[in-house]
Structure 1
């Protein structure tokens, strides 16, 4: 990288003059009138070279691990570099209060603080306000959305990985002479310990404006943002820009500009009390801990230190507008705020897993959030109702049809709402006294030979939808498999998200006593419920890391649709389907999406003559397990699913399809259309097939 002439001239000045560390901006290549950011990302000037995604992430992880392993060394080196080379004294602030106190001391008489859009600076805001400082946002005023604006990720046209990587180019800059008495407080994206270089990712020009207008600059550097040298810092900053390219467009209000995307000068940056008698901008540095070192000392949260701050975890989070609407928090920020005591609850997290799936470093934020709930004892007595949902289903099945009548009687739902917080307006599924497992035990005949597989129907299919379970058995037997169905027990998937870790572990051990020996014998364990699949594949190994059975069961668990598609790819699937002339809208449940599953359902249905399956990607449906069942989340649940409902109501669909019983319930209630599991359609399409 080459510095521009301003930086070169600055470095040639005598040591007696004030100096500052090198400042680099990563920003999209300039275009006339600053055309909107989305256009810069999606219209590269030339084809970008292909990215080796795995190598990129490996290098990123190595850099971040180096910081975690040598934090004290790197902080000491950066402090010495700033002092010895640039005369900048660094304050290592243990808390946000200490950092705010220092900024208040440095603040000019105008008491105005110009800030960039930084999660690190956001930690200081309440304390800066307590000092009576006026905080001036500089980002939103300069951002212009595309003509129609965007609210959710599916409304964005994603650039290719290569385009996003190539779109941001580093530029070295030198702060201009002071033009106001305002103080600039800038959260640094990355800092290099070796030479003190700091990097910012700038999508428009608000950071440049602050550097030009402020009378003094305070660089706020989260201690996890320090890396070894400039090359590593540039790589991390570029990765932030690449992975956060789409998240930038979300959560930013549409402000000013014209239909051509011309960006106006931010009104909030009108300078106060101009002064022009200084040649250089004094710089100060604050190294902010504010709870970060505690992450390193706790194995449950160590991976938080790997976070590069790209905000990619925000992109698909269904509830971010509710917990982060005012603060701009990402899921990572939401957790960090709770850990340091700035937030009292994590209940807006629905543990869908989308944030973890989008993280370039595979940071398991959902597990960390569940751990934090468990540590804080956040499981309330009403939560036990949902943690033990398997027991409730079993009791409701044993008392059916009386239970079904009670669940549909408004007077009975009122005390239920008080006890469990279950929304009395939520229509519940009908429970079957004659469960699938009871029916299966009494069947008169079954294939005596063939390859054997294990089928785990889960609570919903066993107690409320035996038809789905029989469809699965019928499809598998049609394709030459002998189906083993073990004794039913709940997998306990709802427990850990509520912070009931010990209860979740007990459920896991009970299930492993059954599934462990089967896995040891080499059986494939098939599931038709996405949440049960998540429990067996992901939760059990996490909850019981010492268990070989948990690892083996996870390796041998497959979703039924994924298993069938693999059969088709090997040429072993029976494709003698009857025609079904239907146009169906498919919703991928979160617990399939985060396991890289879902498209196989569309591919299977495309094998049926006359079938036209359409993928409807409108985010989470809003049910999110028991989240949408609770009275407190009634409106929020409906609002999250609104986009899906609106699409499904359109006249182009005959019915909706999804793999998750909770999604099915929500989609039916929100759209008014019938919604079924895709495997029911597959079973219906087999020649001479029908329900058992």
Structure 2
């Protein structure tokens, strides 16, 4: 099946300049990976003639989209590779590892009431060895802990009938906020309420589909895209100004990939999706800025790959510079290496860590109070691989509120 609704012919614009390969984090550490030019536009010309030209090296692509940022001809290289996997690969054979890593809604739901037990078990050496040998999940990888109570449960108990504001936005919180880090969702509401903006949750939402696409569950990813698009339309029709997301990868998927997966729909509801720092910087620019107190911290900012691709890094940096007293240092733009579920797989673990090594070195040498990043899996990778604690830009802004 095709991952995207319409065949991507952007490969015709490839100049063969190899700018993409020079920016590929995998090619920089794996000599056996031919690079995005060969796997993407070069390979696509051959694959259209015959699926026999499928290169198994495509599996090493992390989907970081840095190749697309580097491309001077706007070739959708990462998307061409993802679509090739969907069309010409060996099919979506059921694999337990890929299922467990990608069906985040199901796994999160299964931890209800058992989060402390699940967290304790996944930390044990025995469990790690079993997952390594039986499932292919590297035993050196650390899993993010599940929260004792989901974000939606907290919202329903605390705020569902109390968000009475003249202006309202809807919040696509995503799996990580719901099951692992509800504090980020709470901070988001705190910040927006301080700006006299109410926050409603989508009536229902499912995983945005990023891990599903990465692990070959394309039919499920498209079904989730249709479901979430309907929820977004309902939210806008009910009076929400827009739909915000605090995940840079979720926001990119909802806003950029959904239209190509599903086709443009009437009114294009996907354009109503806004990444949170973009929304906040526009509000600040328009004069809706809460009173902030000094936050005397030295922080390093890591730019997530998908936020770079969407052009959103400048919005996050602008927002952070509004916090008085903050010493902000932008780290060199190196991929952290985890690429969602990629770095959990034992065959990718060493590649993942090698990619991230320059970033880890910067962080350890910087002596920062915190590392700030917009991406949940970047947070996992950095906290596992360094001594740093990682915080989201919105949570740092919440600390600065003069309340």
TM-score over 0.5 for the pair? yes
**Shift of the alpha carbon at 1:452?**
0.6
Equivalent residue in structure 2 for 1:557, among 266, 269, 273: 273
Residue 483 of structure 1: aligned partner: 199
Change in Cα spacing, 1:652 to 1:345, as seen in structure 2 (3 Å) is closer
Residue 302 of structure 1: aligned partner: 9
**Shift of the alpha carbon at 1:667?**
0.9
**Local SS of the residue matching 2:16:** coil
Residue 58 of structure 2: aligned partner: 346
Deviations 1:564-593 (A, max 9, x none): 00111112122x211111110000111111
Deviations 1:244-276 (A, max 9, x none): xxxxxxxxxxxxxxxxxxxxxxxxxxxxxxxxx
The alignment yields a C-alpha RMSD, in angstroms, of 2.1
**2:216 aligned with 1:503:** no
**2:169 aligned with 1:453:** yes
Residue 373 of structure 2: aligned partner: 658
**Shift of the alpha carbon at 1:497?**
2.9
CA distance in 2, matches of 1:634, 1:687: 43
Residue 10 of structure 1: aligned partner: none
Residue 254 of structure 2: aligned partner: 536
**2:82 aligned with 1:366:** no
CA distance in 1, matches of 2:300, 2:64: 21
Say which structure, 1 or 2, has more relative contact order (CA 8 Å, 6+ apart). 2
CA distance in 2, matches of 1:637, 1:319: 8
Residue 332 of structure 1: aligned partner: 37
Q: Which structure 2 residues correspond to residues 474-623 of structure 1 after superposition, within 5 A?
A: 474-486=190-202, 487-521=204-238, 523=240, 524-545=242-263, 547-548=265-266, 551-552=268-269, 554-574=270-290, 576-623=291-338
CA distance in 2, matches of 1:417, 1:440: 37
Is the contact made by 1:374 and 1:501 (CA closer than 8 Å) also made in structure 2?
A: yes
Residue 108 of structure 2: aligned partner: 393
**2:90 aligned with 1:377:** yes
CA distance in 1, matches of 2:288, 2:128: 49
**Shift of the alpha carbon at 1:420?**
3.7
Deviations 1:16-50 (A, max 9, x none): xxxxxxxxxxxxxxxxxxxxxxxxxxxxxxxxxxx
Q: Which structure 2 residues correspond to residues 163-202 of structure 1 after superposition, within 5 A?
A: none
- Say which structure is richer in strand: 1
Is the contact made by 1:370 and 1:499 (CA closer than 8 Å) also made in structure 2?
A: no
**Local SS of the residue matching 1:475:** helix
Q: Which protein is bigger by CA-based radius of gyration?
A: 1
Gaps of 5+ in 2: none
**Shift of the alpha carbon at 1:520?**
4.0
**Local SS of the residue matching 2:277:** helix
**Shift of the alpha carbon at 1:322?**
4.7
Is the contact made by 1:370 and 1:498 (CA closer than 8 Å) also made in structure 2?
A: no
**Shift of the alpha carbon at 1:441?**
0.5
**Shift of the alpha carbon at 1:636?**
1.1
Q: Which structure 2 residues correspond to residues 57-136 of structure 1 after superposition, within 5 A?
A: none
**Shift of the alpha carbon at 1:642?**
0.7
Is the contact made by 1:401 and 1:433 (CA closer than 8 Å) also made in structure 2?
A: yes
Residue 467 of structure 1: aligned partner: 183
Change in Cα spacing, 1:547 to 1:447, as seen in structure 2 (3 Å) is closer
CA distance in 2, matches of 1:344, 1:326: 11
Is the contact made by 2:303 and 2:333 (CA closer than 8 Å) also made in structure 1?
A: no
Count of residue pairs brought into register by the alignment: 386
Is the contact made by 2:205 and 2:228 (CA closer than 8 Å) also made in structure 1?
A: no
Moved over 6 A (4+): none
Is the contact made by 2:171 and 2:201 (CA closer than 8 Å) also made in structure 1?
A: yes
CA distance in 1, matches of 2:29, 2:366: 31
**Shift of the alpha carbon at 1:317?**
1.3
Change in Cα spacing, 1:543 to 1:419, as seen in structure 2 (3 Å) is farther
Gaps of 5+ in 1: 1-297
CA distance in 2, matches of 1:349, 1:426: 19
CA distance in 1, matches of 2:218, 2:121: 32
CA distance in 1, matches of 2:357, 2:112: 32
Structure-1-length-normalised TM-score: 0.53
CA distance in 2, matches of 1:494, 1:539: 13
